[in-house]
Amino acid sequence: MAVVPIRQEETEIVVTFDDFWSLYPRRVAKKDARRAWDRISPRFHSAIMTALYEWARIWNARNEPEFIPHPATWLNGERWEDDFPPGHRPYSPHTAAQQFQEKQEQEERKAMPAHVMDAIKKMRK
């Protein structure tokens, strides 16, 4: 795995397909997943990894790996924009009002939370 340098901004790292693949809990059809990843604009990579971090927690808690979508299907369907199941508490819980306000204030490219960046850095070691 090639090491990608961290951007000059200390608050964000460049996300690669290998980072996505390492975090995704159902690793099947890698070639199709890479093709799907390559078609997605890099400005969405932070949002993808942030959502994937939460979805991986949900899928792992359910312990039903056969119901985890294939990675290419998840990417092609832009499933990172799906709502989380009722009752899911995100890693950094906020009130609904705070989430709504944050969503309105954020631009298309969202900053990646520190806990997701930490997970990526640990995977790269």
**pLDDT value for 116:** 83
Contact 115, 50 (CB under 8 A): no
Residue 11: its pLDDT value, please? 54
List of residues 6+ apart from 118 with CB closer than 8 A: none
User: What separation in angstroms does the CA of 107 have from each of 1, 28, 47, 73?
Assistant: 31, 32, 11, 25
Note down pLDDT in tens along the chain; length 125 residues. 455 544 444 556 788 999 999 999 999 899 999 999 999 999 899 889 989 988 998 898 888 889 999 999 999 999 998 888 887 776 654 555 565 566 656 544 566 788 888 888 888 87
Backbone angles phi, psi at 94, to 5 degrees: -130, 160
pLDDT at residue number 61: 86
pLDDT at 103: 62
Query: How many other C-beta atoms are found inside a 10 Å radius of the C-beta of residue 84?
Result: 13
Q: Look at the pTM and tell me if it is higher than 0.85.
A: no
Q: What is the Cα–Cα distance from 67 to 109, expressed in whole angstroms?
A: 29
The pLDDT value recorded for residue 31 is 96
